[in-house]
Amino acid sequence: MKLQKEFTDDQQVKITAEFEPELLDQFMHKAARKISQRTRIPGFRPGKAPYAMVVNHVGEASIREEALEMLLDKVYPEVLEEAQISPYGPGNLDEIKNQDPLTLLFTIPLEPETELGDVDSIREAYTLPEVSDEKVDELIRQVRRNSSTIVPLETPAAEGNLLYLTLEALAVEPKEGEDPEIFGSTPQQVLIPTESEESDSEWPYRGFGRALIGSNAGETVVLTHEFPQEDSVEEDFRGKKIRFNASIQSVKALELPELDEAYLEEIGDFKSVEELRTAVYERQLAIETADYEDKYYLGLVDRIRQDTKFKYPPQMLHEEEEEVLHRFEHELSHRQLELDLYLKMRKMDKEDFIKQEVTPTAITRLERALVMEALSKKYGIKVSNDELEQHISSLISDLVRSGELHQMQKDLGEKKFANAISHEAANRALESAIRLQLRKIASPESFPAEEPKSEGAAEPTPEAAE
C-alpha cells in the first residue's frame, strides 16, 4: 500500500491510497461468491457458480460495487493505522482515482485541537448575591396574591389593582410596504406594581403598568414607547416606536389573605411567619446563587475562548448544529408549535434560520465545550467516586421532585436509565470541578485562608495518620 497525506485547513486529512494490483481482483471473486449465495443462478447450487457465470448473470458493475464495500471494510482500518491517524469520526470515500492499480481518495476528520491562551492571569471577583428583606417581602406578597380574592372597584386604577383590558400595538412610523399592525386587539391582565416591584421583565415594557394609574373602566389609554435595537427586546418590537391602545374593561382590587396560622399551614405547613421567611429566603438565595454562578463561569469561559485557538472538523460543528436545532424544536413543542409554523411567523426560511441563529449558537456551545475539555486536561482535573455519587443522588432527587423519575425509567428501561444518569452525573461532576479550578484562578481571595500550623506542633505518628 502506498499513501499520500494532505492536511487541510478545516482539520481534515485527504489520503490517497494505492493498493496492490491483484487486491481488487481478489475481492471481485469474493464478491461474486457472496452474490451467488443469495442469488439463484440456474444450474448451480448457492455459492457454487463459476465467476464468469455470476458476471454474466448480475453484471460486472454489481460485482465491483459489492467488492468495493468488502474491500473498504478491510483496508480502511489498515489505511488509518498506516497513516497514523486518530480520526474524530467516520471518513468518506471521495473518489476512485484509478482502477488499475486501485487508487482511492479518502477525506478523514481529525480530532479537534484546542490551544488555550494565558488562563492563569485571568481575574474576576467572585461575589455571591444577597437577598434583602424587601425581596423576601415581595416574594411572600406574590404568594399571597396567588391566593387573593378579586373585588370589583368603581374607583380609578391604583397600585396593586388588577386591570382587565384589550391591547393593540401599531408601529408609529412603519417602513414602506410594512403592515403597521404589530398585533391586534388582544385580552390582557395587568397588575399595577409598586415602584419597588417594577422590573425590566415587565411586558410590553418597564413602566407600562404604572402608566395606567388613574385610568377608569371604559377608557382607552394611548401610550407610545420607543424600543431599543437589542436582543433582549421582543423581536417584533426591536428598534420601533410603537403606539399601544389599552382599552380598560374593568378595575379590580386584590384582597390578600392574612398570614395567620391557617394560611401558613395551607401553603407549606409553616409554624410561624419567621419560618416562612426563612424558607423563602433560602430558596431565593439558591436561585440567585445558581444564576450568578452560571453567568460568572460562562463569562470566564467566554473570556478564555476569545484568546483560544481552535481547530475542529466541519462534521463536529454539523453535529452540534443538529443538537441545537433538535433542542429548539423540543422547546417549540412545549409551546404547541412546529418549526415550519414558527419560521412562517418570523418570515424566515430554514436555511437562513440555521445560518443566522443555529450555527452561531452551535459554534459558541462547541467552543465552550472544547475550552472546558482543555482546562480539564491542563489542570489534570479528576472526579472522585464520592463526588460522582453526590451528583447521582442530586439528579435522582431532582427527578423525584419533578415527578419525571418513573416515566423516564419506563421510557428508557432500567439499564439505559442507569447509564444516562451516570453519564449526566459524571458530566456535572466534571463541570463542577472545572468551575472550582476557574474560581481558584480568577478569584483566589474568595476562598478562606488556610490556618497556619502552630509552631512546635508535634508531627503526626504513623498510627494517627492511619
User: Which residues touch 171 (CB under 8 Å, ≥6 apart)?
Assistant: 178, 180, 181, 182, 240, 241, 242, 243
Q: 397 with 345: CB under 8 angstroms?
A: no
| First CA to last CA distance, the chain | 60
Decide which of 464 and 373 is more confident.
373
Neighbours of 382 (CB within 10 A): 10
The pLDDT of residue 100 is: 82
Of 57, 61, 51, give the one whose Cα is nearest residue 29.
Answer: 51
Q: What is the pLDDT of residues 158-210, one digit of tens each?
A: 999 999 999 999 999 888 888 899 999 999 999 999 888 888 889 999 999 99
Q: Tell me the HSE value of 194 on the side-chain side, using a 13 A CA sphere.
A: 8
The number of angstroms, rounded, from the C-alpha of 90 to the middle of its chain's C-alpha atoms is 25
Q: 248 with 163: CB under 8 angstroms?
A: yes
| CATH classification code of 149-255 | 3.10.50.30
Of 422, 420, 305, give the one whose Cα is nearest residue 366.
Answer: 305
Q: What is the pLDDT of residues 336-362, one digit of tens each?
A: 889 999 898 888 899 999 999 999 999
Q: 221 with 246: CB under 8 angstroms?
A: yes
CATH topology of 2-111 equal to that of 149-255? no
Of 459, 287, 306, give the one whose Cα is nearest residue 371.
Answer: 306
Stretch 225-232: mean pLDDT, rounded?
Answer: 86
Asked if residue 50 has pLDDT above 80, the reply is yes
The CATH superfamily assigned to 2-111 is Trigger factor ribosome-binding domain (3.30.70.1050)
The pLDDT of residue 291 is: 96
Residue spans per domain, the chain: 2-111, 149-255, 382-446
Q: What is the pLDDT of residues 240-266, one digit of tens each?
A: 999 999 999 999 999 999 999 999 999
* Placement of cell 370589583 in the chain: 152
Task: Tell me the pLDDT of the chain averaged across its residues.
Answer: 90
Distance CA 387, CA 430 (A): 9
Three cell numbers, residue 331: 422547546
Torsion, Cα 184 185 186 188, to 10 degrees, reads 130
Q: 387 with 433: CB under 8 angstroms?
A: yes
The pLDDT of residue 466 is: 36
Asked if residue 434 has pLDDT above 70, the reply is yes
> CA quadruple 207, 211, 214, 217: dihedral positive or negative?
negative
